[in-house]
Structure 1
Amino acid sequence: MKNLTISWKFTIINIAVTILVLVFGYLILNKYKNDLTSEVYKKVTTSLNSLSDLKIEAKLDVGISNAISIANDSSIKESLATNNREQAIKTLAQLSSKMKESTPFQNIQIHLHTKDNKSFLRSWKPADFGDDLSSFRASVVKVNSQKKAINGFEIGNDGLSIRSVVPIFDEQNNHVGSMEFMQGLNSVAKSFHEENKSFLLLMDASLATSKIKDENKLDRYVISQKFINEDFLADTKKINFNKLLQDKYLITEKYFYTYSEVKDFSGKNIGISLIAEPISDVTNEIEQASKIIFVALFILVASLLITMFISLLNMRNGIIKPIYNLKKSIDEVEVNSGGQNKRIKVLSNDEIGDVVTSFNKYLDSIEIGLQKDNLVIQEAKDIIEKVNAGLFNDKIKLKANSNSVNSLIIEINSMIDRMGNNLLIVSEALVALSNAKFDYEAPKIDNITGLIASLLNGILVTQSTINEIMCLIDKSSVELTSSSKELAQASSNLSNSSNIQAASLEETAAAIEEISATITRSTENAINMSKYAQNVIKSTKIGKDLAYKTSTSMDEINNQVNLINEAISVIDNIAFQTNILSLNAAVEAATAGEAGKGFAVVAAEVRNLASRSAEAAKEIKDLVEHATKKANEGKEITSNMIEGFNELNENIDITIKLIEDVSNASKEQQLAMSQISSTVNSLDQATQKNASLASTINEMASKTLELADELNEAINQTSFDKSAIKRICDTGMIVEINRLKSDHINFKNKNFAQCKMGHSFTVTNSKECNLGKWLNAHENHEFAKTQEWEDLKIAHDNVHSFVQKTIDLYSENSSNDKILELSNSIEANTTKVFKSLDCIREINCNKEK
């Protein structure tokens, strides 16, 4: 074909096209014939099935209408309610007579049942009743149980028939039983026969409830009607029912067969209705269509041959010859142009002349187009220079002559728009971050990958880090504020308590000074008592010598004893006050805590001395009372004076010893009180220091509270994602997890930067990167047993795998569609990795709680 002339090429192609058209025409027409045949078959199938369904529906409608009408007869209701079969027989006989006179039903079959599913009356066999129908009459059981009518096909002992079963209620609306109106399809078969068609109702032989006669069998089915076209039945016995059921229709020499399924009231297939139409009625339309197709095919062949001959002749005279002339002129232009864009001379006004004129205009348009393209290219350079400088507010406005250049301009302008919008979104996100709007949600950018996607992911990671740190700061600020308030309150209470304690210690010191003074006076009194005792001794000696002075001496003794008694009372009061002060000192020592332990020991000793003083004073008092008694007796019994003086001497000796004990105890009390005073002074100094320190702590707590308030105010001036608090329980993970996120952004960027045609390399394995090592290190952790952990590992493996595949696609110089599809998958899985990491941290925090 390469070396043939246009004439021969056109001739060969024309002949080939003609042959192909003929072949395709034949095939198409033949297919049309086959389609028409199939369409006719479908049409006939649909028509026969619709006719069958229509007639059967009519029978069903008549059946349910008659059943409802008969069931509403008052005599029927009464006979069932009262179990009066005679009345029912009589009523059904009257109904049958009336239906014979006024309806096509000449031999109706009506069956009455009791509400417990037993036969009450068969109109065609009145003597056959009382049998239980529950085991084989499902429709009767269902109507009596649900009290709703059923209308459809059902199998009985007499075969397949239409049974319209309705419940019967008495005048008080009590359910008393049910009734069925039974119909065969002989009338349907007769109506088909009258229309020159055939119909057979066939029951599935496997469902028969009684023995089947051989003459009623038809393959796997049983004939369930009395009226039969014998010619049709003879042809039906020859057909393949399996093929009929599979293809939905079947054709024999005499009939076109189809069928429709027969189902009972529960939807179970119980047989088929077989419908047929004489094949001659079906094939007439097909034969007429075939004649038209063959005529059309003959006309097509003749038309193609005539058209081919005329076109070949016209091509030779009207096309080939002028083309030769045009070629000659073009050759002359090429030879004479000298390499310049010289135009071809127009030699004729026909189509060839128009071609020459168009060719000259084409040369002109090329020259103009080149000029327009150069202007557009220059403008594109200026715009790209601005874009490189970061200015995205200008676009290429000129139109080029070339569609390819215009397409490139559209792509460049689209790139400028999209890049500008993307960078504007990034800029707005960064401005929001600079304005402390850390919860700012940047608009989503569809189908974005590469560095822009990395930049947005970097901003998201930064936001995540800041939000988590802000949540941590906010949580710490709340706790700091609460602690500061508690500290301020506690320090204030401590300061107040310290001041109160200092005041109490001052009062205690004053009380101790008073006790010391009292003990000093007690000591002096004890010394005086000792002197008085010595005087008593002298008096007793003089009394011995001077008996006559006994009475006077006894009076003096009484006076001295009274003085002693008063001194003893003073000592007893001192001991009582000392004991009370020691108890107060013990209470204050207990309040002072660790610092008051030594003071508590001293207080206990003072309390012991006070007790001993009280006991000694009591003993002295007893002795004085005894001495007084003896002195009185001495007055009365002078004869026993000597003996009394001796006892008095002994008592005075004891008294002197007791006075000495009191004096010694007073000295010990004085020494103890000095120690207590020293200890109290030391406690007073320590308490003063504690009060000063408590005041300092109170001031520091107030400043801490002010700092916490300032921190809260600073936090309140920001906005951040409060939901990040769910994952900040482990502060070590905040920076660690976000660093792992950033590692994957860098991983993609570094590998994408090396992608180019013919350059293939292997990326880091998902087990060897930092995140892979982190995953391996935490495999036994509680949160590693979750579905989120499995999703994280799958998404992480996908990121590494897809990056490797992208590198391979670049190396193989694959199409942009494949690269972009894979890179978008990388971004989607990177997002899954980030979200899964956050979910795992939330799970970790929940489990720690």
Structure 2
Amino acid sequence: MKMLGNISIKMKLIISFTIIALLVVLSSITSIFDLSKSSKGFQSYKGSVQNSLHFIQIEEKILLLNNNLKSYLNNPKEEEIKRFGNNYKGVENLIKEANKYSNKNQKKQLALITKKLNSYKTNFESLVSLMEKTDEIYTNNLAINGKNIEELLSSIMLTSEIDEKYEVSVQSGYAIRFMLLARLYTMKFLDSSSNDDVKEINKEFGYLLEQVSDLDDLIENEVRKDKLNQVRNLIPIYKNGVDDIVKNINERDKLILQNNSLENDIEKVIDDSKKQSEKAQNLIGEEVSSLNEGIKTKTIIVGLIVLILVVSFSITIAKGITNGLNSLNNGILNLLNSNDTSTRVEVKNKDEISKIAQNFNNYLESIDKGLKDDAKVIEDVKRVVSLVKDGKVNQEVKVKSNNKNLNELRVLFNEMLDVLSSKISDDINKIEKALETYSKLDFRHRIDNANAKVEVGLNQLANIINEMLVENKTNGLTIEDSAKKVVENVRVVSTASTEAASSIEETASALDEITATITSNTQNILRMASFANELSTSAKEGKEYAGKTASSMDEINDEVNSINEAISVIDQIAFQTNILSLNAAVEAATAGEAGKGFAVVAQEVRNLANRSAQAANQIKRLVESATNKANIGKDVSTQMISGYDILTDNVSKTLELILEVERVFKEQKDGIEQINSAINNLDVQIQKNASIATQTEEVASVSEKIASIILENANAKEFIGKENSEKRKNLIDTKFDGLEKRAMEKRIKEQDDWESF
């Protein structure tokens, strides 16, 4: 049996009928007359069987033609056209061979089959022509003009965004979206031939034309206007190409239906011919049976042997053909139902059907290899996307595929990751950690190994805020101590003024010693003027520090603006990434079944773009919060400057009053006879001094409150150099301690002199 499996069907039939013919010749020796008639009957039977075999082979070839047609529709290559031509020639040869053994009626049926096969071939050639025209339209029109339209609209969008024409940029993005959706539905129509997809295509083109019309009203720039006119001119060309493709596809579907109808008609004719052949075989069998009634026992035995051989060969050959066709049919059904390209049709023999099964296995193997290569690329992309989700942006898709579109998308995806890594960070977690620390008012954190623009910008912002907080706390401590000292000194002055008033009343009787008293008071007034000058200098310094604080706030605002610009770049990248993912979805749809896996990757890319946009918005909110706090600090600095202006004005008034008192004392010294009037004037001036001291104490209290606010704000935040603010403040205090010490010595001396007086 194994040896029979390696023999072709034709050879099996030849061998079987040769054996039968030999037996018939042997039996004819014993019965010439009867066996001669029986021999003629057997010859007729043989022709009928041969004719049936030819019809079976014709039916097989027609099945192959149908498979060639389906294969060409799925994979329109020149090889399938050649296979169709070869199988068609095979059918023609079989029909010519069958005509030799056919009767008149069967020849008419063969002529009808030939006519329908010619129509089948004509339809196939028309279908090939339509497919080639469709491919030519797609290559020379849709692919080129679609890309040109997208590039022109993208150029309008990007240049408008650079020129801050944001409405034009957004509307251009919508136009790109409508164009991409039109292309996507076009690719879906090529696979489905659905009228719903045609409606969607026309709807998206309608939206696109409306969007272009709206852009025409918005665009004022001549260059962009010219590009929009180019888009307007290309859209009808592209739309006409789509309409031609729709027309070709509809004609293709009609031809397919016609061929299906022709195939059914041919099968019906073949079935009728087979039934006629069976009927003829039955008639011949009856004649042979009647002729063999008179044959002797030996002839009967030979006849039985011949019959057994015929049945055995028929069953064996039919079983071999049926098993081969069933195995091939099961393999095709398994592929259609499960899309599992790893399965293979079992090949046991080396006949014609086994060769067809082997070719089918080779075809499945090539498909399976391509899908596995694409799956490796998709798995590598999933790996990279998983790492990017964890914040690790500095990644690369390394696995390559034989699919050109998949490789191009891999390169674009890697370039996008490189841009994100250089612009933002190679590890988003570092930025999230820094922003989280700053949101808790802790500005001591720094991003290590900062290379990306956003990382460097955040570190610079933290340094500026840190320097400002150190300066604020130092100034607050200095102002607080200075205000306390001013309050103490003013109280001393107030007390001294009260005591001086009391002493003046007690010394009204000592007019002869008033000159010495006036001289002493003049010296004290000069000292007070010196102290007031020093206080005025301190107030001016405080005003300068407040001005520096306001200037630092302005610098912070400038840096914040730079960060906002970087955030705008991130938003633009996210938007372009979203457009790129949509384009990738179109390419995935173009790839058909092989691109379904990559469509998932395109969706993940789109999600990543949305996460980037959300992160940019979060940074923007934090930056706006920092800006608000900087503005509050600037307002506080402005209030401090105003307070220092008031303090300086009051000190100036105090100096004027002191000079006035000095002038009065000099007049009293020049005219002793006016001593009583001078004493009264001096008492009035002392009362004014007490009032001014009270006012000065109030100003100092306000300064002390302002210093407390500054210190409270500074202490609420964590920053580098916070502890060193005390040391800087001590350096400033050292300068004032000398002044306070000298002032205290003067007061002690004045008090001693007064007591002595």
| TM-score, structure 2 as length reference | 0.35
TM-score, normalised to structure 1's length?
0.31
Larger gyration radius, structure 1 or structure 2: 1
Structure number with the higher strand fraction is: 1
| Larger RCO (CA under 8 A, 6+ residues apart) | 2
The structure with the largest helix share of the pair is 2
